[in-house]
Amino acid sequence: MKTTNRPDEWKIEQGLAGAELPVLDMTGPKNVPLTIQTFGQLTKNEEAIKAVGDPEKLFTREREGWVGFVEWENYPDKKAAAHKILTSQTFPPNPEFQLGPIPGTNPVLPGTHWKMWHHAVGGELTKIPEDSWATVLKEKHPDMLHLLQFPYNGEPPKRLVTAKEITPNSLHFVRNHGGIPLIDYDKFSFIMDGLVKNPREYKMDDLMDESRFPRMEKTVTIQCSGTRRIEQILLYPGQGDEVPQAPWAEGAIGTATYVGISLKKIIKECGGLIDGAKHLEFYGADTYFKDDKVMNYLVSVPWSKVKANEVMLAWEMNGEVLPAIHGYPLRIVVFGYIGARSVKWLYRIKAIKEPSRAPVQSQEYLYFPQQVGKHNFKLTDGIQIQEMPVSSAIMSPWTKQVCIHNGKIRCKGWAYSGGGRWPERVELSADGGFNWYTIPIDNLSKKRKWTWRTWEYELPCDVEGWVEIVCRCWDSALNTQPTFTRTAWNWGLHVTHSCHRISIYSVNKSRKATQDRLAEFEEAGIPFGPITVPLAFPSQTWDDYEKFWKEHDPRDAEDD
């Protein structure tokens, strides 16, 4: 039979292969399907690349004892050389993960582009993808879910996210935009410069000198603004760059006790800010690629935040030396702000007048309105995300799970609010959000200004079949969460803070009929799940059936 259908016609028609769908132009009298962008293979203009020079000399290690650190910000010529190399070739596409199925692998996404870009630029960057993965394997728990192999982005599986109120280091999520620099403690120093009276350089021993700087210890939750992004992706895909849009679930949040000093004390020792400085820009030693350009990881926070002693220079995490993957030997920890501002592998702090214009600050972590997207967005349409709004998530059970219970479904999860607001009340609903049960305070972990609260609750549920369990939190300012994912969907897929919804199949064993049916399964030695497998034995005896109709005949209503 000759057909004009593609073999995957049905999938395409049903929206299961959205990336393949032609764009429809409906502006004329008839619909016109438009061709969609396709990507070719790797191409290289070898001559143009060669003309740039020897990468081993151009892109060298900036400092002895700082493996993987190439400083870009002080060297415009070096940036231009790398840009030339990158624009002298084309790179094959990343795997589609939003409109197509997400791969069932761990690592989920390989980070094809980022690996190729590092290798293409060469020099000190050549070995970074492999070295970074070796650090992941050394420092992280073997059960981590690796969303992106390089730059490494990983989170703990649901069962471990809230297993402890303080997240063990090996299970703390990791969000990287580049490779992991490996820095010698003895060779480490950072500079505090820009608009400060007396710019200075600091070594670790200076920072640890308690006669100069009082020690600070703080338990802080760091949350990435991409946490729970997968809910937005599954509803409506948005911007699909692998690194900025890593498909996070509920684990891109972690809580740890950090030791260090307040950044305010350093600024004070440098004689304070001058010439109207209002922001502090932090420089990370890793290399970030954006739009065929290379740069270090740069963001800024306002002075008001530093002045309030809410920005810390940290070298210890949960009683251990800060792991390399979390910024060894020194990182910034900004309390109550999105994780993006807590810069790792710090090498410079610069006092400036305006918020940083660096891409991570000005082009990413933007919260767009709903009608803004690829077709019309401007960077200035987005709100720069700073404090995370109140959010919560159910870690157990999981969507599509069958739960056999005695009238109460055992639930676990977390609740968090940014900006120094904390969870006051956490509520669960077993009916899609019509009726709510308050989780007793004693079932919530300790209340702290800058941390999440983990919780556990036996949620009353009499009904059976598919039920929607919903979680929401009220924070200390009585803010709560939007009702549906759609309510807060945005092109950048950030800040998924709507009520967390899971659908489970409720089997209530406190009901007699269910108890009997489950006993039948046990006697027959047949597993109950999956729920979709048809019943392997009669649902009732024919005697029963006949008896019922004897008592309830006729089936059709009498017309009298």
Q: Could you tell me how many residues of this chain bind ligand MTE (CB under 6 A)? A: 18
Pick the binder of ligand MTE from 78, 158, 172, 500 (CB under 6 A).
172
Within 10 angstroms of residue 3's Cβ, the number of other Cβ atoms is 7
Pick the binder of ligand MTE from 144, 220, 343, 461 (CB under 6 A).
343
Closer CB to ligand MTE, 88 or 176, in the complex = 176
Strand partners, 396: 412
Pick the binder of ligand MTE from 108, 148, 273, 340 (CB under 6 A).
340
Which part of the chain contacts ligand MTE (CB under 6 A), choosing from 110-118, 340-348, 443-451, 533-541? 340-348
Q: Is 347 in the site for ligand MTE (CB under 6 A)?
A: no
Token pair 């609740």 is found at 415
Pick the binder of ligand MTE from 345, 368, 452, 474 (CB under 6 A).
345
Query: Are the beta carbons of 287 and 294 closer than 8 angstroms?
Result: yes
* SS3 (DSSP) at 532: coil
Nearest 5°: phi and psi at 156? -75, 155
DSSP 274-295: -TT--EEEEEEEEEEEETTEEE
CB of 289 to ligand MTE, least distance (A): 12
Closer CB to ligand MTE, 213 or 248, in the complex = 248
Q: Is 244 in the site for ligand MTE (CB under 6 A)?
A: no
Quick one: how far is CA 371 from the chain centroid?
A: 23
The Cα-based distances of 152 to 64, 108, 159, 178, 182 in angstroms read: 24, 11, 21, 8, 15
CB of 338 to ligand MTE, least distance (A): 7
Pairing outcome for strands 311-317 and 331-334: antiparallel
With both helix axes pointing from N to C terminus, report the angle between 112-121 and 76-87 in degrees, rounded to the nearest 10.
120
Instruction: Report the C-alpha gap between 266 and 252 in whole angstroms.
Output: 30
Closer CB to ligand MTE, 273 or 333, in the complex = 333
Q: Is 177 in the site for ligand MTE (CB under 6 A)?
A: yes
Within 10 angstroms of residue 151's Cβ, the number of other Cβ atoms is 26
The contact pattern for ligand MTE, residues 270-299, with x = CB under 6 A and - = no contact, is: --------------x-x----------x--
Cis, peptide link before residue 530, omega less than 30° from 0? yes
Q: For residues 362-421, which are near ligand MTE according to CB under 6 A?
A: none
The contact pattern for ligand MTE, residues 193-222, with x = CB under 6 A and - = no contact, is: -----------------------------x
Closer CB to ligand MTE, 231 or 424, in the complex = 231
* SS3 (DSSP) at 551: helix
CB of 46 to ligand MTE, least distance (A): 32
Closer CB to ligand MTE, 233 or 385, in the complex = 385
Query: Are the beta carbons of 161 and 98 closer than 8 angstroms?
Result: no
Query: Are the beta carbons of 335 and 420 closer than 8 angstroms?
Result: yes
Pick the binder of ligand MTE from 88, 132, 169, 176 (CB under 6 A).
176
Point out which residues bind ligand MTE (CB under 6 A): 172-177, 222, 224, 284, 286, 297, 326, 339-340, 342-345
